[in-house]
Every structure is written in structure tokens, then in C-alpha cells.
Amino acid sequence: SIPLFQTVSQAVAFVESQKRDKVWTIFITEGIYRERVIINADNLRLVGESQAETIIVFNRYAGQKVSEGSQEKWGTRRTATVEIIGDNVSIENITITNDFDYPGNEMKTKEDPTRVSGTQAVALKTDKSADRTYLKNVALWGYQDTLYLKGDRVLIEGGMIAGHIDFIFGSATALFENVTILSRARSSISVGNGPTGYITAPSTNLQRPYGLTFINCRLERENGVPTNSVALGRPWHPTTTFSDGRYADPYAVGKATFINTFMESHITTKRWASMTGRAKHGNTITFNPHTDGRFAEHKSHGPGAHIVMSNAVHDSHILTAQQADFYSRTAILRGWRAPIVNINTTH
């Protein structure tokens, strides 16, 4: 018989101990599971009883020390509430949250000794080794760096992703269909000139034809997010170690595309923003979104898109209908068709 477990991590560990040639479904009953879940199994499906009431939550952040008295910090890559390492992993009808108190920390003055730095706090991450990750009707809540896509192919259908700074980022090839993208409010203390938020920060390798592609999605906002305050994206060139030094990866020419997407009026008229990185000799350089990134949109609509569609914004790349036809599910996901099928079940 298949046992019952009290935590998601225990159920995942059980599956990892079984033969890898089987496909497993873990059914998660309604409840709040405060734990960090690492999925290092292939062919695994996590299904929640309901999205609203099945919640996995943790609160690790990048600047947090690994242990009391340690000088080592977790860093962004080790903060995810759920981290997917395996292939062919599916998550359905679940809310995943990183509830690090970003707003409370942001309200503190710089002189406050309790104010922390390194506030990146990931809700879900796909590791570099992960491929064919499928999210259906999943809600991801965070602030800075909510969804870190470092693996290969990702398909996200329905659900919601919430955050404010670079909250969908990474090098993966990901297709978002009918997803609500919610920009969250920030403290007025930290808001200066320019955008207060950025939806995407892709670091797509130049050899990859697709990066983060949004089709039939909705870009919405919380109360308190100002009009004309959130950019669609900026190019992330992550600091990388090369044979001749450690500096911003010149081959990470991020790609993000929005097709037939509704945009509320919080989206900036200047669609894409610049981002800084470290040059080979250690100084800071600025990456231009039009020369150091690949950004485009097609048939954007709603209050945040009307200026673009009237061609009043000249620095936005508008795809033609013929160009948009290249963004099919088959092309983006390289023939990957569907998620795994339920064969074995544990609770």
C-alpha cells in the first residue's frame, strides 16, 4: 500500500526512493505547508486539492545567513520555496509563496539596523538540469524574483504570478498562456524616478530563438501601483566565470515577447528598461534593451497598450502578423506536447 505523509517533502522523498521508470502523482490536501520543497525526481506530478487552499510557503531570502554566526548567505539561487531539479515535473492547483516580508523591510530607513539587504526571495525555481516543467492553475506569490526559470522548457497555463522587481526571470524557454501577471505595490520610501517595477529579466542565451513568451495573458496591478510605472522587461546579463575573468555574460541576450496580451495602465509607455552589469575589468556597464536584449510585442491591448498600438512609441519592437506566426507552441517548446499522465498516486 502507498503511505500517507504529513509534509510535501516527505512524499517527494518517498517517490525519489522508488524506481525512476514510473510516473507518480502526489495529491496534496488543502492546508498550509510551511516547508522548502526540492523535487529531484523525474516524472512527478503534484496536484493540489484547490489552488486557493493548498499552499506551500517558506520565507528564505538571498541576504539571509545560512546559519547563526555564519558569514555565508543563501544567495538568490537557494531561496526558492519549491525548487525543481528533475525532468517532466508537473504542478497543478497549488499556491506557492515566498512570504519574506519585503514590504516591511522596505519601509525601514537605511539607518535602521534591522533593515536587511539581499531581498531577492524566489517562490519557484527550475534548476539548470530541469526540462519539461508544466504548471497549470498555479499561483506564485512573491515580490522581487518570484519565478526563477533556469532550466530548459517550461509551459505555464492559467494561474497567476505576482511580484514587482524582475519577478519572472532566467534563461529558460518558457511559454505562458492565459496567465495573470500581477504587479505589486512598493513602499514610497524606495520609489524614485523611473520604473518602480519590471515584469521580466530574461537572460536567454543568444543561440536560443525563444525566451519568455506570453500569449493571451493579462498584465494587472494591485492597488497602489502607479500608472506608467512598470516596464515589460530589462536584459539580465548574469555575472559568469570565464577563462579570462568573472563578468556579465555577453552571450545572455535576454528575449521576452508579449503576444495578444492585455495590459493595464501601470505598464510604461517606454516599454523596456536598461539594466547594469559588471564589465570584464570590474567597472559597471549599462545594457541597452534594444541592443543587448531581444524584446517584442504583438497585438497588445488595454489601457497600457494603446499608445504603442498607435505607433507613438518608437523604441518598442512591434511584431508583424507574419513574425508572430513563428511563436507557436510547437516551435517554442520544440515539439514537447503534453505533461505526464497519472499512473501511481500517493498523498
The C-alpha angle with vertex 159 and arms to 157 and 165, in degrees rounded to 5, equals 105
- Is 166 considered catalytic here? yes
User: Cβ of 299: how many Cβ atoms within 10 Å?
Assistant: 15
Element at 10 (helix H, strand E): helix 8-16
Cα–Cα nearest to 289, from 200, 158, 185, 180 = 200
- Is 99 considered catalytic here? no
Please tell me the number of Cα atoms within 13 Å of 230 on its side-chain side. 33
Pairing relationship of beta strands 173-177 and 147-149 according to DSSP bridges: unpaired
Q: Which of 131, 145, 152, 249 is catalytic?
A: 145
Between CA 308 and CA 316 the distance in angstroms is 7
Between CA 176 and CA 103 the distance in angstroms is 27
Query: CA-CA distances (angstroms) from residue 291 to 237, 241, 284, 319, 324?
Result: 13, 23, 17, 17, 21
On whether the CB atoms of residues 257 and 319 are closer than 8 A, the answer is yes
Q: In what order do the strands lie in the sheet with 212-215?
A: 294-298, 255-259, 212-215, 173-177, 153-157, 133-136, 89-92, 44-48, 24-28, 344-346
Q: What letter would DSSP give residue 172?
A: -
On whether the CB atoms of residues 86 and 130 are closer than 8 A, the answer is yes
Q: Which of 42, 87, 166, 249 is catalytic?
A: 166
Residues marked as catalytic: 145, 166
